[in-house]
Amino acid sequence: MTNWTENASRDLMSVGGRLAMLTHGEGSAVWDADENRYLDFLGGIAVNCLGHAHPVFVEAIAAQAATLTHVSNYFATPGQLELAARLKRLAGTGEQGRVFLANSGTEANETAIKLARLHGSKHGRSTILVVEGAFHGRTMGALSLTPKAAYRDPFLPAIPDVVTVERSLEGLAAAFRHNDVAAIFVEPIQGEAGVVELPDGFLARARSLATEHDALLILDEVQTGSGRTGEWFAFQREGVIPDAVTLAKSIGAGFPLGALVTFGAASDLFYPGTHNSTFGGNPLASAVANAVLGYIEDEHLLDNVNARGEQLRAGVAEMPLVAGTTGAGLLIGIRLTAPVAAEIRAAAHENGLIINAPTDDVIRIAPAYTIGDAEVEEFLTKFGAALAAVAASAPTPTETPA
C-alpha cells in the first residue's frame, strides 16, 4: 500500500476528499497506485468523452507540442480559427456568431456574466436570474450565480443583483415581472443538482420571456455540451436558440478548455479591452479540441451516446433501490428509493466502479462516448452488486437503526 494519503494530507490544500491515487488509464479503465483496476463511468465528471489515453487525443497533443504550444492573445493561430469556426457550425450560430476561448467552464461562465452586464448596462439593468439548484462554478462571479448556500455563503458578499428563480413555469414568469433583468442563466439539465431536468416547456418559456424583456438567454452547457446528451448541445433537443452558450468539459476530452459561443446581436457586445485570456485558445488546447470534436463527428459517436444511454437506462430500471432515471444521452441520474447514494458510491468503488453521488438519493454516471457492450455489461454487473450490498445491509422495516 502506498503512502499517497499521507503525502496528499501534507502537501495539498484540504478542499475535498480523494478516493485513490490513479496512475494510468486506457479506454474506460483506470488503475491506482496499487494496481487496482476501476471501470470509470464518471469520466472525470463528464470530461473524458473518449476515455483515457485515446490515440486521437494523444497524437493531437504530441503533434502540436512539437510545433507550437503557446503564443499569448496577441496572435491568432490556425487551430484557434478552425476551432472557432467548428463551434459556430456545431452550435448553429450562423455567420453572426462569435466564439471566445477560455480555459474552463467557470471561466466561460465568468465571461458570460460580463456579457450579461454589457447588455444590461445599455438599458440600466443589472439583475441576473439563475434557477434554483444551479451550479455555475466556484470563482467569485460564477459562485454568485450558484445559490447553494454551502458553496456560496462562506465567501459572501457575492456580486449583487443575482436573483434565484423557482424551478417552475410560474416562478420563471414571476421573475420577469420586474423590468430590470439583464440576463437569465439556465442549465438545460442540472448536473450538480442531481441530473435534474427542467419542467416541460421551461427552456422555451425562458426564451420567449427573455426576448419579450430584451434580456439575454445564456445557457450553461459546460456539462451537457459537446455531445454529452446525444446532440451537440442540449438546447438543440428543445429547438430553442439562446443568445449565448458556455461549454467546457467534454470539448477537450481531458485537456483544459472552455468556450463562450454567442448568437446574433450578443456577438457585438464585447469590444477590445473588455475581456481576454492569456492562455485562452492556445495552440495546444485548440489542436486537441479540433481532433476530439472531429473524431466524434467523423465516427458518428453521438449515435452511440444515444444508444448506450438507452441501454444503460433499461439495464438499471429493475434493479433494487432504483426509482428511475433522469438526464439524456450519457449524462444519467439514477434516482434511488432511499437516501443511500453515498453508500452505493462507496460499495461501487470497493467493487472497482467509479460513479458519484451528487445528492443523497441520486447516482450520476457520465461515461465515455466510446463505450460498447462490454463496458455496459461490466457496469451493470458491478453496479448491481453495489446496490445488492447496500440493500442487504439496510435495516428491514422491523429493525431499529443503531
Q: Which residues are known to be catalytic?
A: 135, 220, 249
In Å, how far are 54, 194, 225, 257 from 190, measured between CA atoms?
A: 28, 7, 12, 20
Helices (H), 228-282: 235-238
Task: Choose among 165, 161, 180, 172: nearest CA to 122.
Answer: 180
In Å, how far are 143, 334, 350, 380, 393 from 360, measured between CA atoms?
A: 22, 11, 19, 21, 17
**In contact, 388 and 320? CB cutoff 8 Å:** yes
Q: Which residue has the cell 448491481?
A: 384
Residues 179, 181, 187, CA angle at the centre, nearest 5°?
140
**In contact, 301 and 369? CB cutoff 8 Å:** yes
Cβ neighbours, 10 Å, residue 170: 9
| Beta strands across the sheet bearing 98-102 | 98-102, 258-262, 244-247, 216-220, 181-186, 127-131, 162-165
Cβ neighbours, 10 Å, residue 361: 18
User: Is 2 in a helix, a strand, or coil?
Assistant: coil
Distance of alpha carbon 139 from alpha carbon 160, whole angstroms: 15
Half-sphere exposure of 246 (CA within 13 A, CB side): 30
User: Is 68 in a helix, a strand, or coil?
Assistant: coil
User: What does the CA dihedral 39, 41, 47, 52 come to, rounded to 10 degrees?
Assistant: 20
